[in-house]
Structure 1
Amino acid sequence: MKTLLLFRHGKSDWKAAYGHDHDRPIKKRGDRAAARMGRLLAEAGEVPERIVTSSALRARQTLEAAARAGGWTAPVQVSRALYEASPETALDVVRAAPDEASSLMLVGHEPTWSALVRLLIGGGSVRFPTAAIARIDLDVTAWSDAAAGRGTLIWFLIPRFFG
């Protein structure tokens, strides 16, 4: 069994000065929500063993806020592939994870996360608000075996539920 955590970036700042969407930062509200989620995962014992984040600034800032607040120390890889990724591309990132890690977090974007959840659990509909996290347990022993329909949605956490 492998555990996949999908973390959507915090609320972004559309009014900030940035040249390209890739460089759009998160708002203070997004930073607070990310920190809340980081603490929540740490308190629940759900800290990931490995993390891959989109290279987009808002995803990296979200991860930094969550990791700082939760005291996470997992190795982090920055991936350009997760920015504007298809669900299949995101699944390829999952499949490339090292098998010694039993849990993996991806930090990224919509609509990729909703589509990836549907793909992994074999249907359904999930709307991913900013800074939400979904846990999907995959019925595999190797990340490379992750495939459509091999996952079970265990929980879905939205920051506004927690203050």
Structure 2
Amino acid sequence: MAEIHTPFGRVYEDFNVDDVIMHWPGRTITEADDMMFSLLALNQHPLHIDAHYASKTQFKQNLVNGTLVFSVAVGMTVNDISGAAIAMLEYENIKHLKPTFRGDTLYGRTRILDKWETSKNDRGIVYVETIISNQREEDVMSYKRKLLVPKREFAPRPNTHRNHS
């Protein structure tokens, strides 16, 4: 029987400029998700928490809180992009391209835009753009970010060897 150990996250050498990483699984946003997030974040805009109000808007229904979409977008990329990161350095150009509605399922893809070594030989900076789409294949959000990731030789990895006696 083979043991397979998959490290969490990528290290500097695993990122190649122009590669596109498809994130899976998707995440369906429920009414409970949106309501709890909005109230926890103290965002009481009626477009998110008042169905009657939202029904009178151009959207005719509640919109999902945009910062919830952003949080889910970042979260769905952790295993593939930032799971081994030392630090997130910067988020930029966060764009809400289309509305997200309750019941929509979000999917993500990330393009590696650039990478460069730092003055410390144990790490590098990776620059990526993530695009989030819904189940209708409409892009609903995009953002760019820079993260500091270790090089393979210096990446902390748990000891996956077990004593099988």
Measured against the shorter chain, the TM-score band is under 0.3
Larger helix share, 1 or 2? 1
Work out which of the two has the higher radius of gyration on C-alpha atoms and give 1 or 2. 2
Using structure 1 for the length normalisation, give the TM-score.
0.25
Larger strand share, 1 or 2? 2
